[in-house]
Amino acid sequence: MTNTLLTKSIPYEEFDYQTLLDSVRGYAQPRMKISGMLAKGDIIRVKKGLYILGETLRRRPFCRELLANLVYGPSYVSLEYALHYHGLTPERVETVTSVTCGRSRTFASPVGTFSYRMIPLEAFRTGMDRVELDDGRSFLIAIPEKALADRIVADRGAGISTQKNLHEYLLTDLRIDPVILYGLDPARLTEIAGQYRSRRVKLLADLITRLGKGAR
């Protein structure tokens, strides 16, 4: 199989084992062919059953957020990675962080680390958004309010008991962009706090409500 035929038979940079197996069915020993492609770097195994095209065959960048959804589920991207994705924090995050209603897990792969934090089912069900890709596929990611709520709930060591504590934590510890912070939706945060049953998220909703009224 030439590289051209391989890329024609695999429509996306990210693909599963069945797609890969279908692409090599013309070979007498398809599993040997797959082993050879892995050895040459034509394809890269992200985890068992999930692959991407190697760098020399890649037609476009692979989607890290889509891979995160596929590596372990049910899940959606949130926490530090989503905060940077939405422009709330300045630093690029190498680990793709997600939330799940399953067990907390971390997967190291040749294309990066994928981390999953368990949250309550009711909290998991709220605050996610679907981002459509140019090729018609999509991935799930937390809205800005949910990503921040997930982050402050996860940080159990932070001494957050008042709006003042929380405000300093957001601006100093997390380095949240104040312009975006003050533009968050307090009603969404109140809804998320109810699903989480979290005093911290309710405190965040109250803080954003006050800041939104100009009482800074």
- CA 95 to chain centroid, in Å, comes to 9
Q: Both 84 and 189 in a single domain?
A: yes
Token pair listed for 197: 């049953």
Local confidence band at 38 (pLDDT 50, 70, 90 cut-offs): very high
- H/E stretch holding 189 reads helix 186-196
Q: Which domain holds residue 142?
A: 64-212
What pLDDT is recorded for position 216?
43
Is the same domain home to 71 and 49?
Answer: no
> How many domains in the chain?
2
Rounded to two decimals, the pTM is 0.91
Provide the terminal-to-terminal Cα distance of the chain, rounded to the nearest Å: 65
Q: Which of 1-5, 70-74, 124-128, 146-150 has the lowest mean pLDDT?
A: 1-5
Clarify whether residues 99 and 45 are in a common domain: no
Peptide bond into 74 cis (omega under 30): yes
Q: At residue 68, does pLDDT exceed 80?
A: yes
The fraction of the chain above a pLDDT of 70, given in percent, is 95
Please report the pLDDT score of residue 28 as a whole number: 83
**Residues 49 and 90 occupy one common structural domain:** no
Residues 137 and 187 grouped into a single domain: yes
Mean pLDDT to the nearest integer, 42-62: 94
Q: How many CB atoms are closer than 10 A to CB 37?
A: 22
Query: Which of 13-27, 41-55, 151-165 shows the highest mean pLDDT?
Result: 41-55
**Does the pLDDT at position 1 exceed 60?**
no
Percentage of the chain with pLDDT > 90?
81
Q: Are residues 22 and 87 in the same domain?
A: no
In degrees, rounded to 5, the angle at the alpha carbon of residue 191 between the alpha carbons of residues 186 and 193 is: 90
177 and 86 share a domain?
A: yes
